[in-house]
């Protein structure tokens, strides 16, 4: 079964062709980083306009790389939320038109469910059940995954997502956008325990997250640091980046491992853009191993927004008999568990 997956949830226009839910024939992503870089973040109106320019050539390239024609498709899977409304609309209405004109089944996909299942695109994937930490610019959550479509949300961010905190701290330090990769690279030259930034573990029993207080703490520290020459002689910007990153990672690792232990699973998966962070992968792998747990991570191309994970999710929804009609609409907020 050949499934075309389309994702335009934020600032990446992506399309992929997936065969039988596991073989990736193509995965094309057009990034808008250069467009949004001068603004320090994604500008929704600019993002949606860029999707309009890119959606047709991106889909055509995905089909060409897969050596398939539209008539060879058995389904079109498209992200309908959560995400930026304007961006989502471009992908959905293109998918609707493609499905309607060519009489191909249309499947609506939750973007977060795509991240949850993205590890299944890898040959080395865990068996159900497992725990997933989804961590990106827009989302930070923990899910217990019993099987396809069987999810229990254990925790979520109460304010800023982890990736959003990286972007904001990068902006505070004047490092540019996107912040995750910049902070990670800078942190490699810094001392991660140089500055005791706070860890918001919240209630010991909760799996929820909060990073707004950490962001504020970094902002206040940087303000003082810039006004104090003596402090600048002993503390480098690299130390600030490393100490901030470590504060985020400590909380993510503690809660993910605790969730794994509490649910009795054998495996923890980390998905989403921040899952590309090498320091996070290293620390979580080590912490999980101490508790007898295995850690899994999709390759970087499947961590960031991509059409492959949407095609994968659409495939499993299709084989369960699910199909969307032409009245389906986008949702800026779309919980995986409602």
Tell me the per-residue pLDDT of 55-75, one tens digit each, with 9 for 90 and over.
999 999 999 999 999 999 999
pLDDT level of residue 40 (50, 70, 90 thresholds): confident
Q: How do residues 184-225 score in pLDDT, each as one tens digit?
A: 999 999 999 999 999 999 998 999 999 999 999 999 999 999
Look at the alpha carbons of 179, 180, 185, 186 in this order and tell me if their dihedral is positive or negative.
positive
Segment 229-283, tens digit of pLDDT: 999 999 999 999 999 999 999 999 999 999 999 999 999 999 999 999 999 999 9
The beta strands (E) that lie in 105-165 are given as 106-110, 130-135, 140-147, 150-156
Look at residue 337 in the predicted model and tell me its pLDDT. 85
Q: Are residues 263 and 165 in the same domain?
A: yes
* Same-domain check for residues 202 and 110: no
Q: Are residues 186 and 94 in the same domain?
A: no
Q: How far is CA 237 from CA 182, 232, 284, in A?
A: 12, 8, 25
Distance, in Å, from the CA atom of 331 to the CA atom of 325, rounded to the nearest integer, reads 15
Both 287 and 247 in a single domain?
yes
- Based on the domain organization, do 135 and 223 belong to the same domain? yes
Does residue 201 sit in the same domain as residue 250?
A: yes
- Does 269 lie in the same domain as 176? yes
The CATH number of whichever domain residue 199 belongs to comes to 3.30.420.40
Q: Do 156 and 289 belong to one domain?
A: yes
46 and 163 housed in the same domain: no
Q: How many domains does the chain have?
A: 2
Residue 310's domain spans which residues? 2-116+302-319
Q: Exposure pattern of 135-149 as b/e (b: 16+ CB <10 Å)?
A: bbbbbbbbbbbeebe
SS3 label, residue 268:
strand
On whether the CB atoms of residues 142 and 132 are closer than 8 A, the answer is yes
């Amino acid at each position: 079964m050949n499934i075309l997956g389309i994702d335009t949830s934020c600032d990446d226009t992506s399309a992929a062709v997936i065969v039988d839910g596991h073989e990736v024939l193509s995965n094309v992503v057009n990034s808008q980083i250069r467009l949004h870089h001068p603004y320090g973040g994604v500008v929704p109106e600019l993002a949606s306009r860029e999707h309009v320019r890119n959606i047709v050539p991106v889909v055509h390239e995905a089909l060409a790389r897969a050596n398939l024609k539209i008539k060879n498709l058995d389904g079109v899977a498209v992200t309908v939320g959560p995400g930026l409304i304007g961006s989502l609309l471009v992908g959905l209405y293109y998918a609707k038109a493609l499905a309607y004109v060519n009489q191909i089944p249309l499947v609506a996909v939750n973007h977060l469910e795509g991240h949850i299942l993205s590890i299944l695109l890898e040959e080395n994937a865990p068996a159900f059940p497992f725990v997933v930490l989804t961590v990106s610019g827009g989302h930070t959550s923990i899910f217990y995954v019993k099987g396809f479509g069987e999810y229990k949300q254990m925790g979520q961010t109460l304010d800023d997502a982890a990736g959003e905190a990286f972007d904001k701290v990068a902006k505070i330090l004047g490092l540019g956008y996107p912040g995750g990769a910049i902070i990670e690279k800078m942190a490699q030259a810094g001392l991660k325990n140089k500055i005791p930034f706070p860890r918001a573990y919240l209630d010991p029993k909760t799996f929820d997250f909060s990073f707004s207080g950490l962001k504020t703490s970094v902002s206040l520290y940087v303000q003082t640091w810039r006004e104090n020459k003596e402090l600048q002689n002993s503390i480098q910007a690299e130390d600030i980046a490393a100490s901030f990153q470590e504060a985020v990672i400590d909380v993510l690792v503690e809660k993910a491992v605790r969730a794994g232990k509490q649910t009795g699973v054998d495996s923890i998966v980390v998905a989403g853009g921040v899952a590309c962070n090498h320091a996070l992968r290293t620390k979580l792998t080590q912490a999980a191993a101490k508790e007898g747990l295995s850690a899994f991570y999709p390759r970087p191309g499947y961590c960031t927004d991509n059409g492959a994970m949407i095609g994968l999710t659409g495939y499993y929804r299709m084989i369960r008999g699910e199909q969307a009609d032409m009245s389906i609409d986008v949702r800026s907020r779309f919980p995986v568990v409602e």
